[in-house]
Amino acid sequence: MTQIDLPFAKRTLTNGLDVLVHENHHVPMVAVNVWYHVGSKNEHPGRTGFAHLFEHLMFEGSEHQNSSYFAPLQQAGALLNGSTNSDRTNYWEVVPTSAVDLALWMESDRMGYLLPAVTRERFETQREVVLNERRQNYENRPYGLATMALSAALYLGDHPYHWPTIGAADDIRAMQLDEVQAFFRAYYHASNASLSLAGDIDTERAFELAERYFGELPAGVRPAAVRAHAELTHEIKLLLEDRVEMPRVYMAWHSPEMFGADDADMDLLGDLLGNGKTSRLYRTLVYEKRLALDVAAYQSSREIAGFFLLVATAAPGHSLTDIVAVIDQELQRVATDGPTEAEMERGAAQVEAHFLYRLQTVGGFGGKSDQLNAYNVFKGDPGYFATDLERYRSATRDSVRAAAKAYLAFDRRVLLSVVPAGQPGLALSGSEPVLVS
């Protein structure tokens, strides 16, 4: 087995900012990556979409660079982006080694001095951009509203995962500038952030630069952790009509939170059920019986809670009912007999390769700088990479079987049928229409 490792050094500035450094001089580039431990889970019903809108505003300027962040960074040859999910917001640049100072100056300026640059005009323009993003990526996309319907059913009312990260369209329209400013003050500061630098930089110099640019920033108040509980007590059947050709079924269960007990087992379970032609459900549904056009299964783990999702699209002439019957049979089988030895061996090879491939890039989404921040923010341990890998290596046939049995119960799940508009009869029987806005 290959030795797979993600070496790093960590220091915490006096204002609470964690700084993580990984040296790799293969390419003359440095990845700068900042995580804020804030996401849509920190919002409230009727007031959703803040964290994501904020991500947009963070590129529009700060007090000392009071115009677009893209121009100077592009001029320096940087690639840059940011993203928001329910749990965190990240911002990154991959810059030539010669532009590390610039990237840190800018990241620190928007951490410490953003609000003077958040004007009403910028706010309103980005609000329109976000509404466009929402229409383009959700409303104008086949099956685009399905995950919103699922989240709403899995997590009720004021549970922080009830709403989508992009926010409800009405909430986005109703946002006020002063609320946006208050949101920034609550979450975007040194003690709620983590900075990582990976690539062509000397470790000591990286710490010096971090201190120089971020050391003066106020710590801010560390927000309280968000906690919530959710459970299903029965099977929920929902129906969504959409502009699609083929009916599709989504099956979702509550599952362990990220890095929680059984989280890795559920991940392995997703692979053996739905990842690739060799997976059980692809083989039976698509290859042998030809009831479905595609199938997917995965554990989606988040900070507070996870959910396990199975998705299959019906082949013409076949019903979702037939598909669900086959899936249920396979679920029953795996919960009783567990994976085969061959499936475990295959899973182990894929895990090893997956962890190894993740080490190929220093920057960007999922690169080494992003992973260090993820482990630091969610586990308080940037060195968790090795432990993370070990979670998968220590899984057994029995632990995977036990996880399937514990979590994938038929009487505690959400079944969502997405069917062509005007043909609700193609949904699973007894499904209730659901409204997504």
Partner 1 sequence: MGVDRSRMPAVGDDPTFRFPAIVRHRLANGLQLRTIEHPGLPIVTFVLQVDGGSGADPAQLEGLAALTADMADEGTGSLSAIDVSDAFARIGGDYDVDVAPDATTFTLTTMTRFAGRGATLLADIVTRPSLRQDDFDRVRQLRLDRLKQLKDLPPAVAERAFLRLLYGSHPYGHLSIGTDGSLQRMVRGDVARFHASTFRPSRATLVIAGAMGHDDLAYVAQQAFGSWPGGASGTGSVAGTGGERLAAADSIEPPTAGAPRLAIVPREGAAQSELRIGHLSARRDTPDYAALLVMNAVLGGQFVSRIMLKLREEKGLTYGARSGFDWRRGRSPLLVQTSVRTAATAEAIRDTLDEFEGVRGSRPPSAQEMALAKASLTRGYSRNFETGPQVARSVAQLALYGFSDSYFEDFIPKVHAVTADDVTRVAGEYLDPPRLTTLIVGDHAAIADSLPSLGLGEPRILSAAL
Count of positions on this chain that bind partner 1 (CB under 8 A): 80
Closest C-alpha among 333, 323, 275 to residue 299: 275
Closest C-alpha among 47, 12, 272, 266 to residue 163: 47
Region from 147-155, 220-228, 242-250, 399-407 binding partner 1, contact rule CB under 8 A? 242-250
**CA distances, 364 to each of 20, 60, 205 (Å):** 16, 20, 22
Residue 235 CB, nearest distance to partner 1 (Å)? 28
**Could you give phi then psi for residue 17, rounded to 5 degrees?**
-70, 125
Residue 260 CB, nearest distance to partner 1 (Å)? 25
Edge-to-edge strands of the sheet including 89-96?
A: 9-12, 18-23, 193-199, 29-36, 89-96, 79-84
332 vs 25: CA distance, rounded Å: 50
Residue 134 CB, nearest distance to partner 1 (Å)? 8
Residue 316 CB, nearest distance to partner 1 (Å)? 6
Beta strands 89-96; 79-84: pairing state? antiparallel
26 vs 234, which CB is nearer to partner 1?
26
16 vs 96, which CB is nearer to partner 1?
96
255 vs 361, which CB is nearer to partner 1?
361
262 vs 270: CA distance, rounded Å: 12
Residue 57 CB, nearest distance to partner 1 (Å)? 12
416-435: contacts with partner 1 (CB under 8 A): none
Residue 308 CB, nearest distance to partner 1 (Å)? 21
Secondary structure of residue 6 in the 3-state scheme = coil
Residue 359 CB, nearest distance to partner 1 (Å)? 6
Among 11, 47, 346, 412, which residue interacts with partner 1 (rule: CB under 8 A)?
346
385 vs 363: CA distance, rounded Å: 16
150 vs 246, which CB is nearer to partner 1?
246
26-55: contacts with partner 1 (CB under 8 A): 26-29
184 vs 72: CA distance, rounded Å: 24
Residue 205 CB, nearest distance to partner 1 (Å)? 13
208-227: contacts with partner 1 (CB under 8 A): 212-213, 216
Q: Which residues pair with 298 in a beta bridge?
A: 309
Among 315, 402, 406, 409, which residue interacts with partner 1 (rule: CB under 8 A)?
315
Residue 157 CB, nearest distance to partner 1 (Å)? 27
Binding mask 371-410 for partner 1 (x = CB under 8 A): ----------------------------------------
Binding mask 181-210 for partner 1 (x = CB under 8 A): -------------------x----------
78-137: contacts with partner 1 (CB under 8 A): 78-79, 94-99, 101-102, 105-106, 108-109, 113, 124-133, 135-137
- The answer to whether the beta carbons of residues 67 and 119 sit under 8 Å apart is no
245 vs 276: CA distance, rounded Å: 24
**Terminal-residue alpha carbon distance, the chain:** 49
348 vs 409, which CB is nearer to partner 1?
348
157-176: contacts with partner 1 (CB under 8 A): none
347-376: contacts with partner 1 (CB under 8 A): 349-350, 352-354, 356-357, 359-362
- The answer to whether the beta carbons of residues 313 and 247 sit under 8 Å apart is yes
207 vs 204: CA distance, rounded Å: 5
- The answer to whether the beta carbons of residues 256 and 306 sit under 8 Å apart is yes
321-340: contacts with partner 1 (CB under 8 A): none
Residue 303 CB, nearest distance to partner 1 (Å)? 27
246 vs 415, which CB is nearer to partner 1?
246
Among 74, 176, 336, 387, which residue interacts with partner 1 (rule: CB under 8 A)?
74
Closest C-alpha among 7, 4, 3 to residue 382: 7
375 vs 377: CA distance, rounded Å: 6
- The answer to whether the beta carbons of residues 408 and 262 sit under 8 Å apart is no
245-304: contacts with partner 1 (CB under 8 A): 245-246, 276-278, 283, 286-287, 290, 293
226 vs 427, which CB is nearer to partner 1?
427
Q: What is the dihedral of CA 387, 391, 394, 400, to 10 degrees?
A: 180
113 vs 412, which CB is nearer to partner 1?
113
Beta strands 236-242; 292-301: pairing state? unpaired
